[in-house]
Amino acid sequence: MLMKYRNLHLVLMAALGMAATAGAQDTKPNVVLMVMDNLGWGEIGCYGGGILRGAPTPRLDQLASEGMRLLNFNVEPQCTPSRSALMSGRHPIRSGTTRVVWGLPYGLVGWEKTMPELFSEAGYSTGMFGKWHLGDIEGRFPTDQGFDEWYGVANTTDEAEYTVQLGFDPEVVSPPQIQQAVKGGKPESVKEYNLETRRTIDGDLTDKAIDYMTRQTKAKKPFFLYLPFTQPHLPSLVHPDFEGKSGNGRWADLLTEIDHRAGQVLDAIDDLEIRDNTIVIWMSENGPEEAPEWFGTAGYWRGHYFTALEGSLRTPCLVRWPGKVPSGTITDEIVHITDLLPTFSGLAGYEVPSDRIIDGVDQLPLLTGKTDKSAREGFPVYNGDDMFAYKWRNFKIHFIQQDSMFGQPVRHNFPRVHNLLRDPKEISGLSGGGKETGAENLTWVLPAITKRVVAFQKTLQEEPPIQLGTPEPYVPAN
Between the CA of residue 326 and those of 52, 53, 318, 321, 366, what are the distances in Å? Answer: 28, 29, 12, 8, 10
State the CB neighbour count (10 A cutoff) for residue 277: 17
Which own/partner contact pairs does 97-100 have at CB distance under 8 Å and 24+ positions apart?
Answer: 97/134, 97/468, 98/382, 98/384, 98/385, 98/468, 99/384, 99/385, 99/468, 100/133, 100/156
Q: Which of 91, 133, 260, 418 is catalytic?
A: 133
Q: Which of 9, 46, 79, 260 is catalytic?
A: 79
Q: How far apart are CA 142 and CA 183, in angstroms?
A: 8
Strand partners, 397: 390, 417
Helix segments in 72-229, DSSP class H: 79-88, 92-95, 115-121, 195-218
- Residue 398 designated active-site: no
149-153 β-sheet, strand order: 188-192, 177-182, 149-153, 125-131, 223-228, 30-36, 278-284, 317-320, 68-70, 329-331
In degrees rounded to 5, what are phi and psi of residue 411? -85, 125
> Are 75 and 82 spatial neighbours (Cβ–Cβ below 8 Å)?
yes
> Are 400 and 385 spatial neighbours (Cβ–Cβ below 8 Å)?
no
In sequence order, the 6+-apart residues with CB closer than 8 A to the CB of 329 are 67, 68, 69, 369
Count Cα neighbours of 122 within 13 Å in the Cβ-side half-sphere.
Answer: 26
Strand partners, 418: 396
Angle between helices 250-271 and 58-65 (to 10 degrees): 50
Between the CA of residue 73 and those of 153, 282, 453, what are the distances in Å? Answer: 26, 12, 21
State the CB neighbour count (10 A cutoff) for residue 324: 17
Q: How far apart are CA 433 and CA 377, in angstroms?
A: 24
In degrees rounded to 5, what are phi and psi of residue 325? -95, 115
> Are 374 and 363 spatial neighbours (Cβ–Cβ below 8 Å)?
yes
Q: Which amino acid is at 455?
A: A
Strand partners, 192: 177
- Residue 133 designated active-site: yes
Q: Which amino acid is at 253?
A: D
Catalytic residues: 79, 133
